[in-house]
């Protein structure tokens, strides 16, 4: 078995109209790793995953998946991976068991193993009770779980999960997370794209951030958060006299924070990212008060992946994913 489940060097995909969807991506994912792939909408996440899953041909670079070349040995790559696309991909006219049987047959699972494998997977994703029911009557969560099970019938050493929990309620999402953790603990390499940063934070050993087709950051969630530098001080100003620009100017002129600190204007106040956020936070509040600005709230917190995402990509996570970002804030005063 190769050292890396995914080994990609200088991968390029340029469409015929000249659009560069993937630009010189280098990526190594060791076997057994839970790797997260983050990026803003349109950054190239799905294009990259489709190249790795042999659905798109790169226009440049070298890619091996489980030791097989994605262009010359596409069939071997396909036999050695599981793939759960962004949109649920099950046949609604077939029952849960029939969907799994079709997947077993598609991947050439030996006939003698099929019944046992299907029973195990139905049990694992909690669909044993509805095994004989048609999937068109399933909820979104049940469909996703069945979809995930169909990607695993052949026990692939590498599974691609493209935004697997998008649109699910928190309970269904948690159940899938538990399920992904279990298969990863059992030795399966997982390549996950997600817009839920909480998901990446909780599940992934390592994260790569892609922006405009290029990987712009890579590391463990802790390393990436450390790169933001220090802690985050959020200051909320009164609605009546809100002038975040003035507050930012006061914060800069007060020279309370180190040169590397960043001061960003938000909708209702400012956010300071600094090593001295905790020690000089109250001094900033005094300076703002002296400048005639009314502070209605503030908190100091550790950086989240959202802050990492913002620092690296210049964008917040998409609106619809914001609900899933946990409040990691440690409110020290209000």
Partner 1 sequence: MSTPPAEDGTDATMGPATDIETTSNTFLGDFWVNFKRWNLKAVRNPFVLVVSLVQPIIFLVLFTQVFGGVATQAINRGAASISYETYLMPAIAMQVALAAAATSGVGLVNDIEQGMFEKVLVSPMSRVGVFAGKSGAELLRIAFQIAIILVLGVALGGTVETGFVGALGVMAIGVLFAIWFMSLSNIIAVITRDQESTIIGANLLQFPLLFVSTAFLPLEALPGWIQTVATYNPVTYGVDAARAVILDQDVMTVIEVTQFGGIWNTLVPALVVLVALDVVFGTAAVVMLRRATSADVE
Distances (CA, A) of 304 to 193, 270, 313, 314: 18, 17, 14, 14
DSSP string, 255-292: T-S-TT-EEEE-SSEEEEEETTHHHHHHHHHHHHHHTT
Contacts of 234 (CB under 8 A, 6+ apart): 266, 269, 270, 271, 298, 299, 300, 301, 329
Q: Which of 8, 36, 96, 150 binds partner 1 (CB under 8 A)?
A: 150
> Can you tell me which of 41, 42, 182, 323 binds partner 1, judged by CB under 8 A?
182
Closest CA to 152 of 126, 179, 112: 179
Report the nearest approach of partner 1 to the CB of residue 156 (Å).
6
CA angle at 98 for the pair 130 and 163, rounded to the nearest 5°: 80
Listed ranges 120-128, 165-173, 201-209, 273-281: which one lies at the site for partner 1 (CB under 8 A): 120-128
Min. distance of Cβ 290 from partner 1 in angstroms? 56
**187-195, 217-225, 274-282, 321-329 -> range binding partner 1 (CB under 8 A):** 187-195
Near partner 1 by CB under 8 A, which window of 87-95, 227-235, 278-286, 315-323?
Answer: 87-95
CB 146 within 8 A of CB 193: no
DSSP string, 162-196: ESTTTT--HHHHHHHHHHHHHHHHTT-EEEEE-S-
The single residue among 3, 17, 18, 108 that binds partner 1, judged by CB under 8 A, is: 108
Q: Does 90 bind partner 1 (CB under 8 A)?
A: yes
Tokens 């603990």, residue located? 185
Told to check if 186 binds partner 1 by CB under 8 A, we report yes
- Least Å distance, CB 12 to partner 1, is 13
C-alpha 299 chain-centroid distance: 26
Single out the residue of 42, 60, 75, 320 in contact with partner 1 (rule: CB under 8 A).
75
Q: x/- site string to partner 1, residues 128 to 147, per CB under 8 A? A: ------x-------------
For residue 285, the minimal CB distance to partner 1 (Å) is 49
Among 56, 146, 272, 284, contact with partner 1 (rule: CB under 8 A) = 56
Number of residues that bind partner 1 (CB under 8 A): 58
DSSP 294: P
In angstroms, what CA-CA distances link 203 with 47, 89, 120, 151, 273?
A: 22, 23, 23, 19, 26
Minimum CB separation of residue 224 from partner 1 in Å reads 28
Q: How far is the CB of 319 from partner 1 (least distance, A)?
A: 24
Question: Which residue, 37 or 107, is less far from partner 1 as judged by CB?
Answer: 107
By beta-carbon proximity to partner 1, the closer residue of 75 and 289 is 75
Which is nearer to partner 1, 22 or 247 (by Cβ)? Answer: 22
- 3-class state of residue 318 by DSSP: coil
Question: Among residues 69, 105, 129, 223, which is the contact residue for partner 1, using CB under 8 A?
Answer: 105
Q: How far apart are the C-alpha atoms of 212 and 181, rounded to whole Å?
A: 30
CA distance 93 to 187: 33
Smallest distance, Å, CB 32 to partner 1? Answer: 9
Binding residues (CB under 8 A) for partner 1: these are 1, 15, 47, 50, 53-57, 66, 75-76, 78-81, 83, 85, 87-94, 98, 102-103, 105-108, 110, 117, 120, 123-126, 134, 150, 152, 154-158, 175, 178-179, 182-183, 185-189
């Amino acid at each position: 078995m190769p050292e890396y489940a995914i080994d990609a060097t200088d991968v390029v995909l340029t469409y015929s109209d000249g659009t560069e969807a993937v630009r010189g991506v280098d990526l190594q994912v060791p076997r057994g790793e839970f790797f997260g792939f983050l990026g803003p909408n349109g950054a190239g996440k799905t294009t990259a995953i489709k190249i790795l899953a042999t659905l798109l041909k790169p226009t440049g670079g070298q890619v091996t998946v489980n030791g097989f070349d994605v262009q010359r040995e596409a069939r071997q790559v396909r036999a050695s991976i599981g793939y759960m696309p962004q949109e649920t991909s099950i046949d609604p006219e077939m029952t849960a068991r029939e969907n799994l049987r079709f997947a077993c047959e598609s991947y050439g699972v030996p006939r003698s193993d099929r019944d046992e494998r299907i029973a195990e997977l139905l049990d694992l994703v909690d669909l044993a009770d509805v095994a004989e029911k048609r999937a068109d009557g399933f909820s979104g969560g049940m469909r996703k779980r069945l979809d995930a099970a169909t990607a695993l019938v052949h026990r692939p050493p590498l599974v691609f999960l493209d935004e697997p929990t998008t649109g699910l309620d928190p309970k269904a999402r948690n159940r899938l997370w538990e399920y992904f953790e279990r298969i990863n603990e059992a030795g399966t390499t997982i390549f996950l794209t997600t817009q839920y940063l909480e998901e990446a934070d909780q599940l992934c050993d390592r994260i790569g951030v892609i922006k405009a087709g290029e990987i712009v950051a890579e590391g463990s969630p802790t390393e990436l958060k450390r790169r933001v530098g220090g802690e985050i001080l959020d200051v909320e100003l009164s609605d009546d006299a809100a002038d975040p620009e003035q507050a930012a100017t006061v914060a800069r002129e007060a020279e309370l924070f180190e040169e590397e600190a960043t001061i960003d204007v938000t909708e209702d106040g400012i956010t300071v990212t600094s090593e001295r956020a905790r020690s000089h936070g109250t001094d900033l509040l005094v300076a703002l008060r002296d400048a005639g600005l009314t502070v209605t709230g503030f908190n100091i917190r550790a950086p989240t992946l959202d802050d990492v995402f913002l620092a690296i990509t210049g964008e917040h996570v998409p609106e619809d994913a914001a609900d899933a970002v946990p409040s990691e804030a440690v409110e020290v005063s209000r």
